[in-house]
Amino acid sequence: METKRPTVPAAEEILGGYFPVLDHGFVALVDYMGTDQDIEGAARVSYGHGTRKVSQTRGLIRYLRRHAHTTPTEMVEFKFHCSMPIFIARQWIRHRTASVNELSARYSLLPLLFYEPQPASFAYQSSSNNQGRQAEPAPAALYTKAVERWEQLREEAAETYEWLLAEDVAREIARIDLPLSTYTQWYWKIDLHNLLHFLTLRVDSHAQWEIREFGRVMAGMLQRVAPLTYEAWIDYNVLGTHLSYGERAALSRLLHSDNGGLSVREDAVPLTADDLGELGLSGRETSELLEKLGQPERPDFSLDLSVMKSAEEMRARMTDAVPVSAK
């Protein structure tokens, strides 16, 4: 039976397909409800939106995004099936605006899959960011020693888990010493407004690299479901920025409007650190302003369809990793 639901060919192409993330993780778009046109329809509350030109729909969506009129985007929803290391899941779940159903190790058997960072993402603690790592990888010799320790710990944890299950110990007890690198999975349903908030934070360069990899794939899925909203999100949220009063005041000393355009003020003089301090900008705020004024590189979140797996392939991989003694 032909559906009467609004669909997008680019989204239908990936629906139910599984995209690998990290070493054992994945993201799949299980279902979606609504398109860019539904956002326009909600904003106009009319039946005539479907006859409008794409340029008109694009203009409205960009206006809504630019002025933070967010409720129309709540009319579009996404449902994902995701698998990620537990330590990433605990960051992810901080976004409390989604419906989540996670694999329960109290009555399900956990696949014994563990995340292992690659050498390029194994680094020392950042000296300027208490939450992050340095950009440069740590020495290869240190990485080799870390892998040896990880493998030893995980082997012992996996053997203990399998032994307890084989002894018919309750699953809720058998799981308790599995490490945070163990993969879990869930179904995650969220409306587009909250998905955009999640992605804005999680594709940002300040987010942990591992969760950014999940964000990249989900952004690629968004691009296929609602391309006009995706474009506006990139322009206004990912590449756009907000200016404080002090930052605006600093720029107004250098620039002024001229016949609908911008030009450098004739009386403009270079602003010193003291000048910026008088406007209320600290040293860190000044650095952030300079960063805001830089030319950003446009990200490419396009999906690579050559890596997409079927549900059957992914299910087989998960099943093969379940403890043999408990099957």
Catalytic residues: 202
Query: What pLDDT sits at residue 49?
Result: 55
Instruction: Give tens-digit pLDDT for 207-260.
Output: 999 999 999 999 999 999 999 999 999 999 999 999 999 999 999 999 988 777
Give percent helix, percent strand, percent coil of the chain, each to the nearest 5. Answer: 45, 15, 40
Query: What pLDDT sits at residue 48?
Result: 57
Tokens read off for 52: 């409008």
Query: What pLDDT sits at residue 161?
Result: 96
Query: What pLDDT sits at residue 90?
Result: 96
Supply angle C-alpha 59, 61, 62, rounded to 5.
65
CATH class of residue range 9-240+300-326: alpha beta
**Residue ranges, the chain, pLDDT below 50:** none
**Running DSSP on this structure, what letter comes out for residue 105?**
T
Q: Tokens 């299910």 appear where?
A: 315
Query: What pLDDT sits at residue 62?
Result: 96
Q: CA 223, CA 14: separation in Å to the nearest integer?
A: 12
Listed by start position, the domains of the chain span 9-240+300-326, 246-292
pTM reported for the whole predicted model: 0.92
Measured on CA atoms in the order 117, 119, 120, 124, is the torsion positive or negative?
Answer: positive
Query: What pLDDT sits at residue 47?
Result: 56
